[in-house]
Structure 1
């Protein structure tokens, strides 16, 4: 009987679920196919484009990347994007975690529950509604620079991040904090030595979400930044596409250059977000 059960298990393990396999193959194709087209166009000359988008050029024109770097001032934009994204991520984690901790531990009080729903309601406010008022207010406060942009990223990320932190912190037992307070720890010591380190999975999740958002965002830098020296990579590519829209080879080369840093980041940080999802499920 045991042998029969083992054989049935082996058959189930060896059996291929064709519908799911086909869907995964289609999903992979929809991701890889546009990337292949982008790489081919970036390595072609304008004359090679006459042979078709999917044609392989006889000579790979790697000089397209050099010209794209020069025409978009890529390294200056890269420096701005790295600075804005890294600072915004650090401040987002510290502020959102503190707000989420306070709300999660006092959610039973009417004031904090109202505050929680106030943050959640901000998730449903469309950005175009407040865009013009935001531009006017930011200009009046002289915040139309990198610092102002970072502040806006931190503030706009509060609603979603507080929602994530509150959900995660509710799963952490309060008995750990009570035991620390009995040993003489203050509220700040409990937070920084116990709560904050235990939030590493959600820290990683929030950091990745914020990084992808800040790095790829075009709208806020476009309406906030007034000095061309502060342009980010997406903004530089937007301006480049507007000025040289017919030069697809250089445009796609610049797209790949802008994609490469965030792709490397995601590959490195992928294990952290998977760990965060697994630990969150266990909790």
Structure 2
């Protein structure tokens, strides 16, 4: 009896296996980040012998070189415009499609549409890459507008999958009460459902932001105007035929990563909440 009471007072024991796993996962993130930071602060001569060691002579000029070589203000603005456009249109359109499907899953047509969209998750982009590039060129969408539209369309599969799960967790009694008060379907969605989807909207927004900001392949295939180049595209400038300017390259990676880290720090509570609640169903 005394042993049982003592265990209850002490609380549950530490799960050492889970703790060790989390530490390993944390190292997989911390070690590459540490390597990126120390490399960005080294000179080219220090790379060969120091490895993971701290720089003996910190070279802040690497960030200035990265700023100049990538034309950071222009390319960052291009990435920001494309990312913001993709996030806004994705939230406005994908949420409406998911709502229509979630509330009509008892109908055969909407169930077929749901599985049709979700099945796109299993289609690798390289398979359709060349046809998409050709079609966008024919339609004169080989620009930032076309790139934003492609992000919205290609995000439908995953976004509908998690949006519908989240919408199914919202009681339909709220919608019925709004209808009784005279609200239309349009008003029910924008005034009742969409505000309740804030955690999931934050999740989808962050995931879309990460994708659009860091994507390299789609801008490479679609964009034809060098003036519309995004940050990942111009970071190729550090690699020449015979050598790579690793310090300046890693400095540019850190500069490109900073805006997303700031956004995630402020939105992480909503992201975690959205993922957790969306997984309930």
TM-score tier, shorter chain, comes to over 0.9
What is aligned with 1:173?
Answer: 171
1:110 matched to 2:108? The reply is yes
**Alpha-carbon offset, residue 204 of structure 1:** 1.0
Distance, in Å, in 1 between the alignment partners of 2:90 and 2:207 is 11
| Superimposed CA distance per residue, residues 132-153 of structure 1 (whole angstroms, 9 cap, x where no aligned partner) | 1111100000001000000000
TM-score (norm 2): 0.93
1:273 matched to 2:271? The reply is yes
**Alpha-carbon offset, residue 57 of structure 1:** 2.4
Does the 8 Å CA contact 1:93/1:203 hold for their aligned counterparts? yes
Q: Is there any run of 5+ residues in structure 2 with no aligned partner, and where?
A: none
What is aligned with 2:146?
Answer: 148
Does the 8 Å CA contact 2:162/2:278 hold for their aligned counterparts? no
1:98 matched to 2:96? The reply is yes
SS at match of 2:239: helix
What is aligned with 2:8?
Answer: 9
**Alpha-carbon offset, residue 235 of structure 1:** 1.2
Distance, in Å, in 2 between the alignment partners of 1:162 and 1:81 is 25
What is aligned with 1:77?
Answer: 75
Does the 8 Å CA contact 2:238/2:249 hold for their aligned counterparts? yes
TM-score (norm 1): 0.93
Match of 1:254 among 246, 252, 255: 252
| Superimposed CA distance per residue, residues 212-260 of structure 1 (whole angstroms, 9 cap, x where no aligned partner) | 1111110000010111111111111134335684211111111111111
**Alpha-carbon offset, residue 192 of structure 1:** 0.9
Distance, in Å, in 1 between the alignment partners of 2:98 and 2:234 is 35
Q: Report 1:1-283 matches (<5 A).
A: 5-13=4-12, 15-241=13-239, 245-280=243-278
Does the 8 Å CA contact 2:223/2:229 hold for their aligned counterparts? yes
Compared CA separation, residues 102 and 269, structure 1 to 2 (3 A): same
Does the 8 Å CA contact 2:165/2:279 hold for their aligned counterparts? no
Distance, in Å, in 1 between the alignment partners of 2:80 and 2:53 is 35
Deviates more, 1:247-256 or 1:23-32: 23-32
Distance, in Å, in 2 between the alignment partners of 1:158 and 1:117 is 12
Does the 8 Å CA contact 2:41/2:59 hold for their aligned counterparts? yes
Distance, in Å, in 2 between the alignment partners of 1:227 and 1:190 is 42
Compared CA separation, residues 241 and 272, structure 1 to 2 (3 A): farther
Compared CA separation, residues 248 and 149, structure 1 to 2 (3 A): same
**Alpha-carbon offset, residue 37 of structure 1:** 1.4
Q: Is there any run of 5+ residues in structure 1 with no aligned partner, and where?
A: none
**Alpha-carbon offset, residue 17 of structure 1:** 2.8
SS at match of 1:121: helix
